A and B are shown apart, each in its own frame.
Chain A
Amino acid sequence: MNQNGDITMHLDHALSPRGASIPLEVSDPVFTLDDVSVFYGDYEAIRNVTLPIGKNEITAFIGPSGCGKSTLLRSFNRMNDLILGSHLKGVVAYHGTDIYGPDVDPIEVRRKVGMVFQKPNVFPKSIYENVAYGPKVNGAKGNLDDVVEECLTRAALWNEVKDDLKKSAYALSGGQQQRLVIARCIAVKPEVILMDEPCASLDPIATAKIEDLMVELANDYTIVIVTHNMQQAARVSDRTAFFTAELDDNEVRHGRLVEFGRTRELFSSPGDTRTEDYISGRFG
């Protein structure tokens, strides 16, 4: 057990790796998951998750492949709706409203909850049009130059592309493309940004830039990130949820939430041996 862990254990407020003061319990949740299970047909990808997501915090989901963490992430903006045969049990509440409730339009949910994907999925359009697309489909009229500049600046990309706005987004490097996707995402003015392994296809330098950007964006946005990179979770996140894949009594595999807590505590003094094994590299 390292010293850091001992010091921060159970303090009401403790500094997270990025230097934010994080309360022991989530005090101002944006999302509250209550007993959430997600199914693809008969297959239960993840079972009985109860978890809060704190406002302006960075929450990391870690765990071995197939533990359902990406599936869970995609239930925050109803992207799983697009997969045939998927359904959800339990309650995913956004500021107290069940986003799977009868009066909720998934389109509206996705305007509030943006998403960055594993592979930078820029549109086959110009850099400018990539950023302007979100405001346009959401009804923005007139000149979007200011919005484009602001979002590219916030995504730390403006200086690199300001003279090439009309160029195809495919001309950018992988890391630049991923920052463009982030700029595109914040152009819709979401409250939450979901990131599904955003650095999985990037080199370490591009990864570092995205991580810096995440820390910067956490001042204004609530971020949930799925990552396979435990160092990344340890570097940027305020809280970490550790998931694992288990066999139940009927020998059926499903994802489970093992442990959820402030990142420093979870990494320095995990409460569950499965967490400890995973973060120390003994499996996964």
Chain B
Amino acid sequence: MQNQLAGRGTLLRDRVFMWLLFISLAIGVLTLAILLIYVTVKGWPRLDLRLFTNMPSVRDAQNAGAQSAITGTIWVISFTALIALPTGVLAALHLEEFARPDSRFQRFIEINIQNLAAVPSIVYGILGLAVFARALALGQSVITASLTLALLVLPVIIISTREALRAVPRNIRDGSLALGATEWQTAYRQTLPAAIPGIATGTILALSRAIGEAAPLLLLGAVSFITFNPDGVLSGYTTLPIQIFNWTKESREEFQVLAAATIVVLLLLLLAMNFVAIWIRNRTQKRW
């Protein structure tokens, strides 16, 4: 008697499809790995403390460092977070919890935010130059850069915060309202705390995008060569991507090595931020 349960064998089509998936994955992962290895190997001779303790130079490659770019990046991104996080979260809270979802105005705003998230960063640079640097006369300062980058990440923070709020089950809100809590109490005592993990991860990922931005800052005039750390929001500054850009423009090989070493620092900073985002997400598992 014939075995009715015998398999049909793996079809060729199935195997081809599986390989296709695997190759697609490999393209992404391999490219990243090659890039990482390349910059690490190239920058290795200069990956030492000098990078953190010395100021940039375009003459003395041996003693040049990226201290002002590292501190500048930290200054700029801190103020970006300080401006964008509360604004974005409150805007999302309004859209998600208080605005009437059926109003035309609401739909108009929603479409606009989605479009804003897709606007190229250089356009934000032009806006920042016109409004913050010139009209508000803030010049080439940390605060100009932070305000511009805050506008850049705001749509992303709003969108991810709204998604985090939407993931909080309706019955948590109902439970709170049924106890006589107002909508505002429900929002800030229940919905918002429950959404914090999602908000935190979304924000960190948005900020790690901003940290790597060079284009808008170039437009804002951060190209200038900075050999001091910022000492206030109106201080001049440079950032890691700008510093990398400046060094890669130099023809001498030593500066290419320096640029590669600085790229490694920037990548490590980005990986650290993403790691924190993943850690927050895993630590606060969804409980409903």
Residues of chain A at the chain B interface (Cβ within 8 Å): 77, 79, 82, 84, 107-108, 110-111, 114-115, 117, 119, 121-124, 133-134, 137-138, 168, 170, 181, 184-185, 188
Contacts and interface: CB of A to CB of B under 8 A. Distances in A.
B177 A82 contact: yes
Interface stretch (B105-113, B139-147, B182-190, B263-271): B182-190
B287 A168 contact: yes
B180 A124 contact: no
B172 interface: yes
A24 B140 CA distance: 84
Interface of B: 100-102, 169, 171-172, 174-182, 185, 189-190, 193-194, 287-288
A184 B180 CA distance: 12
A134 B179 contact: yes
Contact of A121 (B102, B169, B189): B169
B177 to A, nearest CB: 7
A185 B102 CA distance: 32
Contacts of A121: 169, 171-172, 174-175
A84 B179 CA distance: 20
Nearest to A119: B171
A117 B172 contact: no
Given A82-B177, A123-B175, 18 more contacts: A77-B178, A84-B101, A110-B177, A110-B179, A111-B179, A117-B175, A121-B174, A123-B172, A123-B190, A124-B194, A124-B288, A133-B176, A134-B180, A137-B181, A137-B185, A138-B179, A170-B287, A184-B175
Q: Which of A114, A133, A137, A138 counts the most chain B CB atoms within 10 A?
A: A137
26 contacts: A77-B178, A84-B102, A107-B182, A108-B180, A110-B177, A110-B179, A117-B174, A117-B178, A121-B171, A121-B172, A122-B175, A123-B172, A124-B193, A124-B287, A124-B288, A133-B179, A134-B180, A134-B181, A137-B180, A137-B181, A137-B189, A138-B179, A138-B180, A170-B288, A181-B175, A185-B178
Nearest to B193: A124
A215 to B, nearest CB: 22
B179 A185 contact: yes
A170 B288 CA distance: 8
Contacts of A122: 175
Contacts of A111: 179-180
A123 B174 CA distance: 11
B287 A79 contact: no
Given A121-B172, A137-B185, A114 B178 contact: yes
A111 B178 CA distance: 8
A148 B189 CA distance: 19
B102 to A, nearest CB: 6
Contacts of B102: 84
Nearest to B169: A121
A270 B188 CA distance: 49
A137 B174 contact: no
Contacts of B176: 123, 133, 137
B180 A133 contact: no
Contacts of B169: 121
A82 to B, nearest CB: 7
Given A117-B171, A124-B288, A79 B189 contact: no
B179 A79 contact: no
A185 B178 CA distance: 8
Contacts of B288: 124, 170
Contacts of B287: 124, 168, 170
Contacts of B171: 117, 119, 121
B182 to A, nearest CB: 6
A138 B193 CA distance: 19
A114 B172 contact: no
Contacts of A185: 178-179
A79 B101 contact: no
A188 B177 contact: no
Contacts of A181: 175
B174 A79 contact: yes
Contacts of B174: 79, 82, 115, 117, 121
Contacts of B181: 107, 133-134, 137
B165 to A, nearest CB: 14
Contact of A137 (B179, B193, B194): B179
A82 B101 CA distance: 12
A107 to B, nearest CB: 5
B169 to A, nearest CB: 7
A120 B96 CA distance: 24
A111 to B, nearest CB: 4
A87 B100 CA distance: 16
A77 B178 CA distance: 8
